[in-house]
Homo-oligomer: A and B are copies of this chain.
Amino acid sequence: MIEYSGQPHYLVAVDCIVFGFDGEHLKLLLVKRGLEPEINKWSLIGGFVGANESPDDAANRVLKKNTGLEGIYLEQLQIYGEPHRDPIERTLSVGYFALIDIHKYEAQLSDEYHAEWFLVNESPKLIFDHAQMVADARKKLRYKAALHPILFEMLPKKFTIPQLQMLFEEVNDTKIDTRNFSRKISSTGLLIKLEEKDKSGSKKGAFYFKLDKKKYKANFQAFLNLIPNLKL
């Protein structure tokens, strides 16, 4: 086979910043690294890009391998390519952030796989430049969530408005006025009110809502401006 002469070749990896929401706090899914160097240290879910797959394919593959999950919301963050970010040999890594409905998969996660959820603000020291990746991912999540309804990806099919608001508050690390928030959310027309109530949080109970899938897909690219007094 012909080759481009004399050019250096590198390893290419993917790393996934996996976010979840437990109903109260934003969480981060981490694994213990399985190879040297830094074996058994906490790491993002990642792996090398194989010969017959794209980075996107690789990200989906390593997510499936480490969590059993398929069809996860996944978005390219950026490439991390400082020459010495990996001490062994040069490896460029494509960062992805992923959003997971934490409840849906909680059981199988802790059993079959040894990934663990951490509160984003209490996560352990990470290998290489993974802490930077997490910081970048949080920033991008805030940015994106202010304009597009991606946070629903972290909620179960049925959810309440107070839950939704808590998620927004967690992501943006801010308090939002209840009245203005529900007005804005309902003005998007993305939610369908259900008969059932969630009684776990209060005596009165909060009505469940579900996403209007059609409108969700149609409006995914539209600008919603969901965060008041937004300053990034």
Contact = CB atoms under 8 A, between A and B. Distances in A.
A15 to B, nearest CB: 13
B2 A88 contact: yes
A90 interface: yes
9 contacts: A2-B36, A4-B88, A10-B12, A12-B92, A53-B83, A54-B83, A55-B79, A79-B79, A223-B232
Interface in A1-21: 1-4, 7-12
Contacts of A10: 9-12, 49
Interface of A: 1-4, 7-12, 35-36, 48-56, 76, 78-79, 81-83, 88-92, 94, 146, 221-223, 225, 230-232
A35 to B, nearest CB: 7
A51 B82 contact: no
Contacts of A3: 88-89
